[in-house]
Chain A
């Protein structure tokens, strides 16, 4: 059943559940963070409309900095601004930032411990028609390996807004990952959000499987859980927006109660969120795990829905994988 403490949308399974892209949450969240703290500045690498950075520019033109198509310079200028007391949010597509400027992020932001917030938009295959070059699928892995880097992959626009506001306050480097496509806004203003905390979306006293998801595909995991319940299979859905630091307590509890785990992410299945969960559980509570993600491939052009189905990251495939895993457990 839905977790009432999550205070999810009252249209949670309705066809007309409100939709917005997580990048829209960056737009509103950055304005909110800018109002709360005048040290917040936003840097844009010639993509202010599609990153939604222009919302910040409209409110605070003097704190918006146009960098041109120069992601390496954007990261390093931001490091300098952070050293001078600013809280810079750098915005581009994740394929270019952190894709293009990884060393600059590593040396001048992470090792330097500068409170720069790296905002990677257009992450995942749901970018759609732009194709593989623009569909970043390796960013969680790259960024979670950096010492001291917090990694957040919000589930919807509302949570993205909260994540941006929270990131502005950490005093440390943070990577935030956003998507291009409009996706269901399943949380509400009342839904709790805290960096490092997972959120139970669907719960059960006797779950057969725990589905752990990050990013907008958490909604697909929730839809899958409802379908499983309708077929008599109980499950848990744990939405994990903060990939680093992981909410070990919540993940441990989910793994112990269900005995097996499925992870879901719009990212390579190697090295990302599923990898982080597998690393953690293999040390503290090994259980059978299936990691759903893109399987060592690049993306391609298509509509977001076509691509999510093709790479088996939609609700139907999550449900099917859950049934397979439960069958495997019963047989072994």
Chain B
């Protein structure tokens, strides 16, 4: 069902609050990744505030949909979203990367309820999601499995082993979403290691492929709905995003992949986040 204008506005407002929390947590941490978390804020909002069947008060609920974050380094957006969704307090986001915090620099499942896996080393999330999807189908479970991937980690061989496996087994309860922001640490993806044509590659591996604007929440939700209706194949949603989305002064700049804002930059970024909306 298409989102109403009112629903879209509410979700956009939520994404704005999540972006602000991301900046606060990165400034407090003094290290971490900025661009990816900001550009995935719309998609995380769509998942946790509309798409996923989940219960923040019962993170281990057996029937919940599973969202597996493969590129663990964008965890500031996962933590901020989980906090806003009620898994823990938003204030706890300010403990990001600090000694004793449940919010580790890269997510650790055993430390924080709500995390489906431990991730950071790239290229292994799609396989884990495929394993979850395979097991769910064996047990005739109805929940869906979502894998969130970066574009840079498409350079990992493990990703393509997983793509082959999911295609072979027609894991239609699995939907992957790729953050196609075109940047990675060393530069633009097409300079570091060309990835295109990504859609053709996944189609060749027997996936259903959709391409959307990753900042258009209505279009993204519609793509996820379409994926649910595809019963012959797993679906890959190539979500075209702008690195650092919401903070115009850093948008599209790969140099913001892996560094946090200073306190002063943080204030400026937050002003831009609210102004840009």
Contact = CB atoms under 8 A, between A and B. Distances in A.
B120 interface: yes
Interface in A59-103: 62-63, 65, 67-68, 70, 72-73, 75-86, 88, 103
A187 B76 CA distance: 54
A68 B160 CA distance: 12
Nearest to A72: B158
A326 to B, nearest CB: 49
A85 B135 contact: yes
B117 interface: yes
Given A81-B135, A84-B136, A107 B118 contact: yes
Interface stretch (B28-36, B108-116, B213-221): B108-116
B98 to A, nearest CB: 19
A75 B127 CA distance: 9
A80 B110 contact: no
Given A72-B161, A104-B158, A80 B127 contact: yes
A77 B116 contact: no
A79 B131 CA distance: 7
Contact of B132 (A81, A104, A113): A81
Interface in B86-127: 108-110, 116-121, 123-124, 127
Nearest to B124: A76
B124 A62 contact: no
Contact of B165 (A73, A83, A88, A111): A73
The number of chain A residues touching the other chain, given as a range, is 20 to 34
Contacts of B116: 83
Given A70-B161, A72-B127, A76-B162, A65 B134 contact: yes
A108 interface: yes
Contacts of A112: 109-110, 117-118
B128 interface: yes
Nearest to B120: A107
B134 A83 contact: no
The secondary structure that dominates the A interface is: helix
A76 B120 contact: no
Contacts of B66: 83
B164 A68 contact: yes
A79 B161 CA distance: 15
Nearest to B161: A73
B164 A81 contact: no
B135 A80 contact: yes
B130 A77 contact: yes
B248 interface: no
A108 B162 CA distance: 14
Nearest to A70: B161
Contact of B118 (A72, A73, A88, A111): A111
Given A72-B158, A83-B132, A107-B121, A77 B127 contact: yes
Contacts of B139: 84-85
B140 interface: no
Interface string B193-219: 000000000000000000000000000
Interface in B157-197: 157-158, 161-162, 164-165
A67 B169 CA distance: 10
A76 B135 contact: no
B138 interface: yes
Given A62-B138, A76-B131, 10 more contacts: A65-B134, A72-B127, A78-B131, A79-B124, A80-B68, A81-B134, A83-B66, A83-B131, A86-B135, A112-B117
Interface of B: 66, 68, 108-110, 116-121, 123-124, 127-136, 138-139, 157-158, 161-162, 164-165
19 contacts: A41-B135, A70-B161, A70-B165, A73-B164, A76-B124, A76-B128, A76-B131, A79-B131, A80-B134, A80-B135, A81-B131, A83-B128, A83-B131, A86-B138, A88-B131, A108-B117, A108-B118, A112-B109, A112-B110
